[in-house]
Amino acid sequence: MAARQTGDGFMRCSDGHTRWGIYGAAGVVFVVRDAHGTPYVMLQKRSAFAHEGGNWSCAGGALDLGETPYDGALREAAEEVGTPPPIIAVLGEFVFEPATDWSYTTVVLEVGEPFGSSINFETDAVEWFGLEHVDELPLHSGFAGAWPHLRAIIEAT
């Protein structure tokens, strides 16, 4: 097995902005449904040690060299909030691609039961929220921009 080549680090993107993830980045929104089919999403409250600490977002981070967004999102989630239960369905994904050499893919996955806790320094809290409550939270700016697209994916399924 080849050694992991981490993508951790900032890069100056083709649009002039500096972003985290030398090979791009990815995150995951986990969805669970109650007995009535109402969806709830897992969000993490980012710690003061993370970018835009104190705000809510999905688990995610830099992709490693050659890693798919799906695999990177699941790896980052396992590092930040714990290993998810079996995945019921891939509901979709949203790709934010502001530059020719960088993108952030958010994967939306349905799981059968709530899980998650703060397991490293990047996460202060993990909670499950009804869709209508997400807009009331102080959101990480990148997640706030993606949320309308992610919500549409969840509501369409």
Structural domains in the chain (count): 1
Whether residue 30 is contained in a domain is answered as yes
pLDDT at 50: 85
Q: Is the pLDDT of residue 152 over 80?
A: yes
pLDDT over threshold 90, residue 99? yes
Q: Name residues whose C-beta falls within 8 Å of residue 138's C-beta, 6 or more positions apart in sequence.
A: 54, 55, 56
* Mean pLDDT, rounded, for 71-98: 97
Residue 8 lies in a domain: no
Classify residue 127: in a domain, yes or no.
Answer: yes
Would residue 131 count as lying in a domain? yes
Task: Look up the domain containing 74 and give its range.
Answer: 18-155
Retrieve residue 46's tokens.
């980012």
Flag whether the pTM goes above 0.85.
yes
Q: Which residues of 58-94 are buried (b: 16+ CB within 10 A; e: fewer)?
A: bbbbbbbeebebeebbbbbbeebbbebeeeeeebbbb
Share of the chain above pLDDT 90, in %: 91
Q: Average model confidence (pLDDT) for the chain?
A: 95
Q: In CATH, what number is assigned to the domain containing residue 52? A: 3.90.79.10
Answer with the residue of higher pLDDT: 1 or 113. 113
Summarised one tens digit per residue, pLDDT across range 1-56 is: 667 799 999 999 999 999 999 999 999 999 999 999 999 999 999 998 888 889 99
State the average pLDDT over residues 111-120: 95
Q: Which two tokens stand for residue 110?
A: 């349905």
Whether residue 112 has pLDDT greater than 90: yes
Please report the pLDDT score of residue 133 as a whole number: 98
